[in-house]
Amino acid sequence: MPATSVLDLIGKTPLVEITRFDVGPCRLFLKLESANPSGSIKDRPARAMIDAAEADGRLREGGTVVEATAGNTGVGLALVASRKGYRTVLVVPDKMSREKILHARALGAEVIVTRSDVGKGHPDYYQDLALTITERTPGAFYANQFANPANPAAHEATTAPEILEEMGGDLDAVVVGVGSGGTLTGVGRYMRRASPKTKMVLADPAGSVLAPLVETGIMGEAGSWAVEGIGEDFVPPNCDLSLVKKAYSIADPESFGASRDLLRKEGILAGSSSGTLLAAALRYCREQAAPKRVVSFVCDSGAKYLSKVFNDAFMAQEGWFGRARTGTVRDVVINRYDEGSEIFVSPNETVASAFARMRAADVSQLPVIEGDRVVGLVEESDLLDALVAAGETMAEVFRTPVGEVMVSRLETISADAAVADLLPLFRRGLVPLVMDGAKFLGLVTRIDLINHFRVRDR
């Protein structure tokens, strides 16, 4: 029988064994929560929290659902709320991926982006701001996934029984992350009752306070991390860390790399938190002396992170591509021509083509390359000057070859020059071409240099 609502498709997600990684003596299975309607595990608690609020009268017709979220819970709430006719207001930290924000807005949610550099108690902290919005909005319901008991209850009632059934009742460990604590607590409670031998293993981004707290008993200072959706600077009320038997801190480069490896080796498109879980699960499996059956999660689809996890430029900007640092201008170049990541245009292409490429790549200048030789540079100011000069024949400019509007007098700098040598060029308003001997390495901009200083000593 076909489903009568997309909400009926939440849960009952598939489980797949991964076979192309070194898992030691163990077998490792991933539950593909990315198969939920909005693409993440958070559809489960989103539906449960809204259903519970309707049942006890906190959410009535014409009401507003408000949530502080790393993105996926918000998208899940927006999906459920839109199907039930509620308004949704989401408060998200500014490190969230563009795809998740656009997804939530496409579902009709109002998304407020706030600071990620402040902690609890600050008025701009995403949870504090969401609570303030709730208090000043008539008919608003604050979902509060961090303390809402319907969150872990959803996983205790659905996620955990599905896993145990799919594993034929034979399960040694479950590797989970903690954002709100719902998955850990719900699955852990069920396993403690239904499969006491099953251990709960925590995968945590390096910088989060949770894994160190489990391993040492000490509540340390939170750092920063790029992985989205898991890791915390406090212990959420819904998070029962007493269920955890082992915890791993996973650095961002390893998490992002694991997500990319999962796609390359197994064909599974997963997000950054799934990379954290996979990296921790692999460590756990390889440490075992005897065979174990282990389950972890693909928490959400990697389609939500194409601009980050699967974007070579982003990885290079973070210094995660393993390039040796030389202390020279070479280190500042993000998009390299010899690696195929430099966006360029040829002189016989049209201005319209150059503009489309600039807009798609979110850059304001392009090298003009003929063969393997740089023959010019076209900047947005060049295009604007040509359009203004054309007056009423402005439309003709877009059909003009780039070679007619490009700047052909080029400023170059050696890849082996000192980084400080870029500053005089930038003060003159120039975008220098970085040359590795006679070969073009790539362009370098002020933003590239600022980013270089940001990650240099990290």
Catalytic residue among 31, 42, 292, 308: 42
Distance CA 367, CA 374 (A): 7
Phi, psi of 134, rounded to the nearest 5 degrees: -60, -45
How far apart are the C-alpha atoms of 419 and 436, rounded to whole Å?
A: 14
Distances from the Cα of 14 to the Cα of 31, 167, 278, angstroms: 6, 11, 17
In terms of Cα–Cα distance, which of 300, 359, 334, 400 is closest to 41? 300
- Of 34, 54, 58, which Cα lies nearest the Cα of 44? 34
Given the residues 34, 249, 259, 273, the one annotated as active site: 273
Q: Indicate if 38 belongs to the active site.
A: no
DSSP annotation of 136: T
CA distances from 187 to 35, 52, 162, 183 (A): 19, 19, 10, 6
Dist. CA 179–CA 195, nearest whole Å:
24
**Which run of H or E residues covers position 66?**
strand 64-68
User: Can you state the angle between helices 380-390 and 351-361, rounded to 10 degrees?
Assistant: 140
Give the integer Cα–Cα distance in Å for 194 and 146. Answer: 25
Q: Which residues contact 422 (CB under 8 A, 6 or more apart)?
A: 329, 332, 413, 432, 444, 449
DSSP 8-state class, residue 278: H
Nearest in space to 146 (alpha carbons), one of 121, 187, 180: 180
Q: Helix 252-266 crosses helix 272-287 at what angle (to 10 degrees)?
A: 90
The verdict on whether 42 is a catalytic residue reads: yes
Strands laid side by side in the 15-18 sheet: 15-18, 27-32, 293-298, 173-176, 199-205, 244-250
| Whole-number Å distance between alpha carbons of 139 and 95 | 29
Count other Cβ atoms within 10 Å, centred on residue 115.
14
Residues involved in catalysis: 42, 273
